[in-house]
A and B are shown apart, each in its own frame.
Chain A
Amino acid sequence: MKQTISVLVENRAGVLNRITNLFSRRAFNIESLAVGTTDDPTISRITIIVDSGNSVVEQVEKQLNKLVDVIKVRTLDENSLIGRELVLIKVNATPKTRQDIMTICELMGARVADISPTSLTLELSDTPDRIEVFEDMLRPFSIKALARTGVIALQKGSGNI
Chain B
Amino acid sequence: MKIRATQAIMECLLEQEVDTVFGYPGGSILNVYDELYNYRDKITHILTAHEQGAAHAADGYARSTGKVGVCFATSGPGATNLTTGIATAYMDSSPVVFLTCNVAEPYLGKDSFQEVDITGIAMPITKATYLVRDAQTIPDVMREAFAVAATGRPGPVLIDFLKNVTAPSVEIDYEFVPWTQNRRLGSIKALADAHELKAPEPNSDDIDILADMIAQSEKPLLICGGGVVRARADKEFRELAEKLDAPVAITVMGGGGFPGGHPLTAGMIGMHGSQASNVACNECDLLIAVGCRFSDRVALQPETFASQAKIVQIDIDRSEIDKNVLTDHHIVGNAKRVLELLNQRLGQYSHPEWKEHILPLRQPSIPRVSEQLTPKQVLETIRRLAPQDTIVATDVGQHQMWSIQHFHFDYPGQLLTSGGFGTMGFGLGAAIGAKMGNPDKVVVHTTGDGCFRMNCNELATVEHYKLPIITVVFNNGTLGMVRQWQHLIYHERYSETTLDRGPDFVKLAEAYGLKGFRVTTQAEMEKAFREALSAGCGCVIDCMLDMDEMVRPMVAGGAHITDFLLH
Question: Could you tell me which A residues sit within 8 Å of B by CB distance?
Answer: 13-14, 17-18, 21, 25, 55, 59, 62-63, 65-69, 71
B195 touches A14 (CB 8 A): no
Q: Name the residue on A nearest B157 (C-beta).
A: A68
- Taking the closest CB of chain B, its distance from the CB of A2, in whole angstroms, is 22
Ranked nearest first, the 3 interchain pairs of A and B with the lowest CB-CB distance are: A62-B319, A68-B128, A63-B319
CB <8 Å contact, A14 and B319: no
How many interface residues does B have (CB within 8 Å)? 19
Query: Could you tell me the distance between the alpha carbons of A68 and B129 in the complex, rounded to whole angstroms?
Result: 9
Residue pair B191, A14 in contact (C-beta under 8 Å)? no
A21 touches B123 (CB 8 A): yes
Instruction: Show 5 residue pairs from A and B whose CB-CB distance is below 8 angstroms, ordered by the A residue.
Output: A14-B119, A25-B124, A62-B321, A67-B128, A68-B148
Residues on the B chain within 8 Å of A66, using CB: 127, 195, 317-319
A53 to chain B, nearest CB (A): 14
In contact, B319 and A17 (Cβ under 8 angstroms): no
B308 to chain A, nearest CB (A): 23
Find out whether the CB atom of A68 lies under 8 angstroms from the CB atom of B319: no
- Is B213 engaged at the interface, CB distance under 8 Å to the other chain? no
Interface residues of B in 169-211 (CB under 8 A from A): 191, 194-195
* B120 proximal to A (CB < 8 A): yes
Candidates B119, B120, B323; contact of A59 at CB < 8 Å: B323
| Measured CA separation A67–B126 after assembly (Å) | 10
Q: Is B373 on the interface with A (CB-CB < 8 A)?
A: no
Chain B positions within 8 Å of A21 at CB level: 123-124
Cβ–Cβ contact A68 & B123, under 8 A: no
- Residues of B contacting A67 with CB < 8 Å? 128
A68 and B119 in contact (CB under 8 A), knowing A13-B131, A62-B318? no
Q: Are B127 and A59 in contact (CB under 8 A)?
A: no
Please name the residue on chain B nearest to A62 by beta carbon.
Answer: B319
Closest A residue, CB atoms, query B326:
A55
A63 → chain B closest CB, angstroms: 5
Say whether A68 contacts B323, CB under 8 Å.
no
Task: Pick the contact of B123: A14, A62, A65 (CB < 8 A).
Answer: A14
Contact between A14 and B131, CB atoms less than 8 A apart: yes
CA distance A65 to B123 in the complex (A): 16
Contact of A14 with B124 in the complex, beta carbons under 8 Å: no
A65 touches B318 (CB 8 A): yes
Nearest B residue (CB) for A67: B128
How far, in angstroms, from A71 to B190 measured CA to CA in the complex?
A: 10
Contacts of A65 in B (CB 8 A): 318-319
How far is it, in angstroms, between the C-alpha of A14 and the C-alpha of B129 when the chains are bound? Answer: 9
Known contacts A14-B123, A25-B124, A55-B322; 6 further A-B pairs (Cβ under 8 A) = A59-B319, A62-B318, A66-B127, A68-B144, A68-B191, A71-B194
Give Cα A106–Cα B429 distance, bound, in whole angstroms.
71
Closest B-chain residue to A60, C-beta based? B319
B130-175, CB < 8 A from A: 131, 144, 148
Q: Complex: how many Å from CA A71 to CA B124?
A: 19
Q: How far apart sit A67 and B191, CA to CA, in the bound complex (Å)?
A: 11
Question: A71 CA to B193 CA in the complex, in Å?
Answer: 10
Q: Whole-angstrom distance between the alpha carbons of A63 and B319 in the complex?
A: 6
Q: In the complex, which residues of chain B have a beta carbon less than 8 angstroms from the beta carbon of A25?
A: 124
